A and B are shown apart, each in its own frame.
Chain A
Amino acid sequence: MMHGPTGPSTKVVSTAPVLSIGAVSKSFGSVRVLEDCSLEIAEGEIVTLLGPSGCGKTTLLRCIAGFWDADGGSISIDGQEVAPVPVNRRPVGVVFQSYALFPHMTVAQNVGYALRMSGAPKLKADETVASALATVSLTGFEDRYPAQLSGGQQQRVAIARVLVMEPRVLLLDEPFNALDAKLRGSMQVELRQLIKTLGLTSIFVTHDQEEALTMSDRIAVMRAGRIEQVASPDEIFDRPATAYVADFIGVSNFWDAEAQGGQVALPDGKTIETDLSGPVRVMARPHNLRLAPPGDGSWTGKVTFHRNVGPLIEYHVESSVGGAIRVAAMRQERARPIADRAEVSITVIDPANCAVYSGE
């Protein structure tokens, strides 16, 4: 309904990005919160800004929405620079962390707010509100107040409220924070499907990697005001560009090594190719390692602890190289896990799936 025959997502077929962010920077006093951030987002794409708190992801979102002005660089929507455009005229819809629903207005009044502010005729506005509420399956809730709704329903009102504006870009600031953990999983899938159906170009801010992996077409991992890597969830997980990204997403084992002649020797005797030379850090995911009886390899250790993680068993091994190493193994029914304090050796399953970063 939001995108009828003239809707942008169905009609406009172009490769030009909807939103492009070029070398944006921002400081508060002497503190640099954004540095040289660049990102392009295509029509209908969901991109996640992922990072720990204080990494600048919310700042970037607020600069796009226009709540704050960037110090340098450019932000443009459909090729048009938005810097001179005030907040209330940007074609951007924001779903706030707290949802920021107006507590003194009913659901219908909240959803119709943008239309009233821009002076849309009442009949037309009522129609639009009704269809927006239908889109988020809240028909029949028109006269409730936000306080009378559950967290999930409030979130849907917040989304319907920006949908009526037909924004070019949807910005979601940690929208699952206010929900309890149990509800989050199902809401994530539901929200992603809704956004995809509507074909909305979206930026989603979170510090939760699982949320990011579920929601996004691409993930931009941020660190201290910079974007470290932008890639699809699979690529981020399998080929993290930096040690920071590898450490932030999923579980990783790191150890120091020496690169010589385009090769790095792994502790179990295998080797991997690299362009680097000198001191390096090698990363292996727990599921790329395997435990074997102690005599089987040169990389030895002692199991200190194990726990069940769904279908996997995660072993913590105090090892000769790299200290505490985590190894994941498939759980076999009726088979006993390796006992704590047992001597083991560790081998790398596929050296090609290890990553090598330059040592610091």
Chain B
Amino acid sequence: MTDAALCAQIAPPRIGERLADALLSGRGIWPAVPAIIVLMVVAVVPFAILLSLGFSDIEISRGDIVSQTFSLTHLTNALTDPLYWITFQRSLNLALTTTALCVLFGYPVAYLFLVGGKWTKRLILILTIAPLLTSGIVRTYAWLVILGGRGVVNQTLMGMGLIDQPLRIMNTHWAVLIGMVQIHLPVMILPLIAVMSRNDSQIMEAAENLGASRLGTLRTVILPLSVPGIGTGAALVFTLSYTTFVVPQLLGGGNYLNAATMIYEQVVFSLEWSKGSVSSLLLMVSCLIVLVCIALATNHFTRWTKGREA
């Protein structure tokens, strides 16, 4: 290699190349700009508009807003309306019960995943991920088939001679609850599995070597270590079951009003924009409050994850 060739090799780059690199290399914020713009236009601005609609009186003529003035009437109306209180309370009860039952039924599956062999683990993964890839309506429809008047449960019970009239399960609180738990169970199991497979398997062996029974190991070692997974799972299950629309609509028979179905009716059938906005905002805020509580509780039980000074 000659000196001239070497100089050419280590010459500074051309401006154009530098520019293309700066835009495409991912060191700057540029690659994210399209996504940021879309999120601004389709999420942030709509939320701002939702907020403004909830706090104003509007006059609509032929689909256009003629006037808009600031007002708290819709909020105070909602907060003093007993129907709101009953509906939100029902949603909250349903979601909290669902969350608790999902922990109760999901945790043993995660434990089985922890102690099970390779094929058990694989089977559990398939059975929990497959429902997530299946339509919620399809999964809810299955419960119509099972719990309906001529459904699996009634046919079985009648066939065994335990009852002679079909039980009315559909369109009750129980039908909704069963459907909710089954549909949200995978969302609970996955974070639990994630947090459990992160733990060192030798910790369990250490506990047993130190004389703990299997139940004792579960209670004193595995359970405390999996609290973060319970927290994540509970937050996800709560958000989904608190705001779900499909299950109450289908298994509740159209007259089981929860917050989500109420918003649907206000927005789509009665076209009450301000009411719909206020309900949506209340749903979001109340959901957030519960999520903060879950996060605080999780934090309290996982103080050991904090730094040394704690």
Do A and B contact each other directly (Cβ–Cβ < 8 Å)?
A: yes
Instruction: Give residues of chain B (1-43) contacting chain A, Cβ–Cβ below 8 Å.
Output: 1-3, 6-7, 9-13
User: Please, how many angstroms separate the alpha-carbon atoms of A226 and B119 in the complex?
Assistant: 56
**A89 and B6 in contact (CB under 8 A), knowing A6-B1, A166-B1?**
no
Candidates B1, B2, B3, B10; contact of A89 at CB < 8 Å? B10
**A85 and B12 in contact (CB under 8 A), knowing A6-B2, A7-B1?**
yes
Determine the residue in chain A with the shortest Cβ distance to B18: A86
Answer yes or no: A91 CB below 8 A from chain B CBs. yes
User: Please, how many angstroms separate the alpha-carbon atoms of A41 and B1 in the complex?
Assistant: 19
Chain A positions within 8 Å of B9 at CB level: 89, 91
Determine the residue in chain B with the shortest Cβ distance to A85: B10
Q: Which of B2, B7, B9, B10 has the most CB of A within 10 A?
A: B10
Are A91 and B2 in touch, CB under 8 angstroms? no
Candidates A8, A82, A86, A90; contact of B1 at CB < 8 Å? A8
User: When each residue 138-174 of chain A gets 1 if its CB lies under 8 Å from chain B and 0 otherwise, what string results?
Assistant: 0000000000000000000000000000101000000
The distance from the CB of B39 to the nearest CB of chain A, in whole angstroms, is 32
User: Please, how many angstroms separate the alpha-carbon atoms of A8 and B6 in the complex?
Assistant: 10
Answer yes or no: A80 CB below 8 A from chain B CBs. yes
Majority DSSP secondary structure for residues of B touching A:
loop
User: Please, how many angstroms separate the alpha-carbon atoms of A89 and B3 in the complex?
Assistant: 15
Chain A positions within 8 Å of B13 at CB level: 86, 89
Are A77 and B1 in touch, CB under 8 angstroms? no
Instruction: Give residues of chain A (53-91) contacting chain B, Cβ–Cβ below 8 Å.
Output: 77-78, 80, 82, 84-86, 89-91
Chain B positions within 8 Å of A84 at CB level: 12
Candidates B2, B3, B10; contact of A82 at CB < 8 Å? B10
Are A80 and B10 in touch, CB under 8 angstroms? yes
User: Please, how many angstroms separate the alpha-carbon atoms of A91 and B9 in the complex?
Assistant: 7
The distance from the CB of B276 to the nearest CB of chain A, in whole angstroms, is 51
Are B6 and A168 in touch, CB under 8 angstroms? yes
The distance from the CB of B19 to the nearest CB of chain A, in whole angstroms, is 13
Determine the residue in chain B with the shortest Cβ distance to A82: B10
The interface on chain A, measured as residues whose beta carbon lies within 8 A of the other chain's beta carbons, has a size of 15
User: When each residue 160-180 of chain B gets 1 if its CB lies under 8 Å from chain A and 0 otherwise, what string results?
Assistant: 000000000000000000000
Chain A positions within 8 Å of B10 at CB level: 77, 80, 82, 85, 89-91
User: Please, how many angstroms separate the alpha-carbon atoms of A8 and B9 in the complex?
Assistant: 15
Chain B positions within 8 Å of A8 at CB level: 1
User: Please, how many angstroms separate the alpha-carbon atoms of A84 and B11 in the complex?
Assistant: 8
User: Please, how many angstroms separate the alpha-carbon atoms of A77 and B6 in the complex?
Assistant: 10
Chain B positions within 8 Å of A86 at CB level: 12-13
**A78 and B6 in contact (CB under 8 A), knowing A84-B12, A86-B13, A89-B13?**
yes
The distance from the CB of A71 to the nearest CB of chain B, in whole angstroms, is 19
User: Please, how many angstroms separate the alpha-carbon atoms of A78 and B3 in the complex?
Assistant: 9
The distance from the CB of A167 to the nearest CB of chain B, in whole angstroms, is 10
Chain A positions within 8 Å of B3 at CB level: 78
Are A80 and B1 in touch, CB under 8 angstroms? no
User: Please, how many angstroms separate the alpha-carbon atoms of A342 and B143 in the complex?
Assistant: 87
User: Please, how many angstroms separate the alpha-carbon atoms of A78 and B7 in the complex?
Assistant: 10
Determine the residue in chain B with the shortest Cβ distance to A118: B9
Q: Which of B1, B2, B7, B13 has the most CB of A within 10 A?
A: B1
Determine the residue in chain B with the shortest Cβ distance to A7: B1
Determine the residue in chain B with the shortest Cβ distance to A77: B10
The distance from the CB of B304 to the nearest CB of chain A, in whole angstroms, is 28
User: Please, how many angstroms separate the alpha-carbon atoms of A80 and B6 in the complex?
Assistant: 10
Are A80 and B2 in touch, CB under 8 angstroms? no
User: Please, how many angstroms separate the alpha-carbon atoms of A331 and B13 in the complex?
Assistant: 64
Determine the residue in chain A with the shortest Cβ distance to B5: A6
User: Please, how many angstroms separate the alpha-carbon atoms of A333 and B13 in the complex?
Assistant: 68
User: Please, how many angstroms separate the alpha-carbon atoms of A86 and B25 in the complex?
Assistant: 14
User: Please, how many angstroms separate the alpha-carbon atoms of A296 and B6 in the complex?
Assistant: 67
Chain A positions within 8 Å of B6 at CB level: 78, 80, 91, 168
A-B contact pairs, 16 of them (CB 8 A): A6-B1, A6-B2, A77-B10, A78-B3, A82-B10, A85-B10, A85-B11, A86-B12, A89-B9, A89-B11, A89-B12, A89-B13, A91-B9, A91-B10, A166-B1, A168-B6
With A80-B7, A89-B11, A168-B6 already in contact, 20 other A-B pairs whose C-beta atoms are closer than 8 Å? A6-B1, A8-B1, A77-B10, A78-B3, A78-B6, A80-B6, A80-B10, A82-B10, A84-B12, A85-B10, A85-B11, A85-B12, A86-B12, A89-B9, A89-B10, A89-B12, A89-B13, A90-B10, A91-B6, A166-B1
Query: Closest 7 A-B residue pairs measured CB to CB?
Result: A85-B10, A84-B12, A86-B13, A89-B10, A91-B9, A8-B1, A91-B10
